[in-house]
Amino acid sequence: MLKFKQSERQLDVVLGDRVIYTLDPYKPAPIEIGKGENSYSMSHGSFKIKEKLECRTRVKIVSVSSEDIRAEVETNYGKLIVEIEDDRRLKVTPEGFEGYNRMWITLPSSADEYVYGSGEIFSEFNLKGKRANVWVAEHINALQIGKKLIKQVFGIKNSKRSQAFSKYETYYAQPTFISSKKYFFHSLTTARAELDFTADDKTVVTTDEINAFYIGFGKNFPELMNNLTDILGRQPELPDWVYDGHILGIQGGTDIMMSKIDTALKHNIPVNGAWIQDWEGRRVTAVGKQLFWNWQWDEELYPGLDEKIKELGEKGIKVLGYINPFLAVEKPLYKEASEKGYTVKNKDGEDYYVTITTFPAAMIDLTNPDAWEWIKDIIKKNMIGLGLAGWMADFGEYLPTDCVLFSGEDPELVHNTWPARWAQVNREAVDEAGKLGDIMFFTRAGYSNTPRYSTMMWCGDNHTDFSIDFGLPSVIPAMLSLSCCGFGLSHSDVGGYTSFFNLKRSEELYMRWCEMNAFTPVLRGHEGLNPDLNAQHDASEKVLEHNAKMAQLHKSLKPYIKDAVKENAENGLAVIRPLFFHYDEKEAFTEAHEFLLGRDILVAPVIRPNALTREVYLPKDEWVHLWSGKEYKGGKHTVSSPLGEPPVFVRKNADVLNIINK
């Protein structure tokens, strides 16, 4: 329980019976302020940011006073209002500080502290010793792809991270972190921020505007996440059909869709969905088979789709589609939006075209209320009205800082919020159609408020390989870091997405990825950027049999996963959890490539090619190996891991053992 303790000179912040911070006019204040400006250059969603700092100065505390759960800290530049919320978190709101647009917040730390968050992080999990840039961007840029091509030419394996941590960008950024000391920090800024964990004795948070922030506490991590998600919001429970097997990634037209579904069913794969990302049309570029971003059913490519959706629905198979906040400039929806003034403009008042891969596209202006209702109505009529039961709500990272918005807002302060606004549009369409609980849409990009509006995350355009920072291994810390930021429902494309030249999906990679995703909330495939290069779910009899086994297993876990999803909806405790959420052990705080599915299942995916064993760390508990039934104690163990039997352990006497063994 938090409270203030006022003395003649100082104000103590007390948690239980422990003083956690003292505000004293005779001691340095934890806040600095300054002035500065940034310059941005964007290429294909990747940003280069340069800062020109004009000044930086330490704030001096003049006086402190408190009354019940509210305290005022007078400084020489402005005032800090500190409020206790729900007995378990502090909200600090700056007032005054006119003329300043930089704030540095210093929090105490120690060398033995572990920290997690800043959004979705693929290359690391524990961020102690790192400096994280909080700015929404493409995770994979052209330079990184070029480096991978060079490595392929020279036969260099991607067993190590390919660049410094500071060079990585992320689709989902958030000014949030949690600590092994069982507290969280979350800023309400929408500007660029930086979380600096490089010093042993302090953490420094920088925000490019002066705004309020929270610091919250919990006796344990489930309680801490409940506290954090009280602020951020939580995802609703998923539709019941989501758990009933494999959502097949299919493209190419109605006949291909039906043929691939039929093949899967004949091989005893429980198919609960067909995700056809090209329902609105396909364009072939130098990069691969991409989509025509015109959010209308392409009846030439998918003749009779409306009837097939009904026919498949009677068999328990849903059809899912795709949408993003861009418009193809060659198509009629763009013409309509442009004529009505619904697109983001450049400084000359013209439509702002953004190059995505090899083609330009216009952006729907989500600050324009009429444009907001227009695209929402398109979702309701053209997608929900068609009978789609879900879709990928892609992108959200590309808003340029030099554009002009209908609202007149500063794009630099709007950029990070764009993916959350995009999620909100989709959520409102589902809610207004009365389909929440029937429809699942999944987003790639995110920021604060995304946990409140999106129904599911997926981990973006991962490479179709085993590389540690872009391939299969990278999605594990990505899901874990999302969980630490309050987004508790996530999954990835089975087999990855990005493929070119020699970067192509092998049968082994597909099967290893399928094994991992069988133990996530959603089992969904993707044919990838270049489908012809990639092994698909029907690549061979071996792959089909493996897929059937994993999809049947995923379906058998339905009651268990549903319970975990419900707990996330009610309490903010993620479905995919880091080990330390339940085990206070050093190894649990540092393990980045294992995860807990709910409380009772530990998953250690095989993350190396040609591996038939894996070393696994088990926390101090009693564990049963899923495949052999052998019992294990805590510690490190080398476990046999043939294809179809990834290292998975269940807590002894857990009810889920009975579910799986049926």
> Could you report the per-residue pLDDT of 547-557, keeping only the tens digit for each?
999 999 999 99
**Taken in order 134, 478, 204, 446, is the CA torsion positive or negative?**
positive
Mean pLDDT of 605-612: 98
Active-site residue, 461 included: yes
Environment class of residue 383 by beta-carbon count within 10 Å: exposed (0-12), middle (13-18) or buried (19+)? buried
d(CA 533, CA 104): 48
d(CA 12, CA 14): 6
The residue written with tokens 């206790």 in the block is 84
The residue written with tokens 């010093």 in the block is 199
Considering 397, 412, 465, 600, which one is annotated as catalytic? 397
d(CA 501, CA 499): 7
CB 444 within 8 A of CB 171: yes
d(CA 550, CA 552): 5
Angle, to 10 degrees, between the axis of helix 558-571 and the axis of helix 221-232?
A: 60
Q: Minimal CA–CA distance to 591: which of 121, 125, 110? A: 125
- Order the strands of the 11-15 sheet from edge to edge: 2-6, 11-15, 18-23
Q: Which residues contact 379 (CB under 8 A, 6 or more apart)?
A: 295, 323, 425, 426, 429
Give SS3 for 170. strand
- Residue 381 pLDDT more than 50? yes
Q: What is the pLDDT of residues 31-80, one digit of tens each?
A: 999 999 999 999 999 999 999 999 999 999 999 999 999 999 999 999 99
Q: What is the pLDDT of residues 446-488, one digit of tens each?
A: 999 999 999 999 999 999 999 999 999 999 999 999 999 999 9
Environment class of residue 154 by beta-carbon count within 10 Å: exposed (0-12), middle (13-18) or buried (19+)? exposed
Instruction: Centre a 10 Å sphere on the Cβ of residue 221 and count the other Cβ atoms it contains.
Output: 20
How many residues does this entry show for the chain? 662
- Structural Rg of the chain based on CA atoms: 25
Give the pLDDT score at 140. Answer: 79
pTM of the model: 0.97
CB 400 within 8 A of CB 391: no
**In this prediction, what percent of the chain has a pLDDT beyond 70?**
97
Helix or strand run (H / E) with residue 657: helix 656-661
Q: Which residues contact 345 (CB under 8 A, 6 or more apart)?
A: 351, 352, 365, 403, 404, 405
Token couple for 4: 């203030």
Give the pLDDT score at 146. Answer: 58
**Region of 155 on the Ramachandran plot (φ > 0 left; ψ -120 to 50 alpha; else beta):** left
The residue type of 51 is E
- Residue 395 pLDDT more than 50? yes
Strands 360-363 and 390-393: unpaired
Active-site residue, 585 included: no
Measured between alpha carbons, how far is residue 55 from residues 36, 37, 99, 357, 566 in Å? Answer: 7, 11, 11, 39, 49
**Taken in order 218, 223, 224, 230, is the CA torsion positive or negative?**
negative
Q: Minimal CA–CA distance to 422: which of 343, 333, 296, 326? A: 326
- Residue 583 pLDDT more than 90? yes
CB 120 within 8 A of CB 43: no
Q: What is the pLDDT of residues 330-349, one digit of tens each?
A: 999 999 999 999 999 999 99
CA angle 549-267-250, nearest 5°? 90
- Residue 152 pLDDT more than 60? no
Give the pLDDT score at 147. Answer: 60
- Residue 150 pLDDT more than 70? no
Backbone angles phi, psi at 457, to 5 degrees: -105, 155
Give the pLDDT score at 27. Answer: 86
d(CA 418, CA 395): 9
Give the pLDDT score at 153. Answer: 45
Q: What is the pLDDT of residues 629-640, one digit of tens each?
A: 999 999 999 999
Considering 138, 208, 394, 567, which one is annotated as catalytic? 394
**23 DSSP 8-state letter:** E
Compute the mean pLDDT over every residue in the chain, rounded to the nearest whole number.
Answer: 95
Considering 461, 469, 493, 591, which one is annotated as catalytic? 461
The residue written with tokens 């003049």 in the block is 62
Q: What is the pLDDT of residues 416-442, one digit of tens each?
A: 999 999 999 999 999 999 999 999 999
What do you get for the CA distance between the two ends of the chain, in Å? Answer: 45
**No. of H helices and E strands in the chain?**
15, 37
- Alpha-carbon dihedral 58, 64, 67, 69, rounded to 10 degrees: 30
Per-residue 3-state assignment (H helix, E strand, C coil) for 236-269: CCCCHHHHCCEEEEECCCHHHHHHHHHHHHHCCC
The residue type of 633 is K
Active-site residue, 244 included: no
DSSP string across 191-232: S-EEEE--SSSEEEEEESS---EEEEE-SSHHHHHHHHHHHH
- Residue 253 pLDDT more than 70? yes
Give the pLDDT score at 575. Answer: 98
Q: Which residue has the higher pLDDT, 538 or 657?
A: 538
Give the pLDDT score at 145. Answer: 60
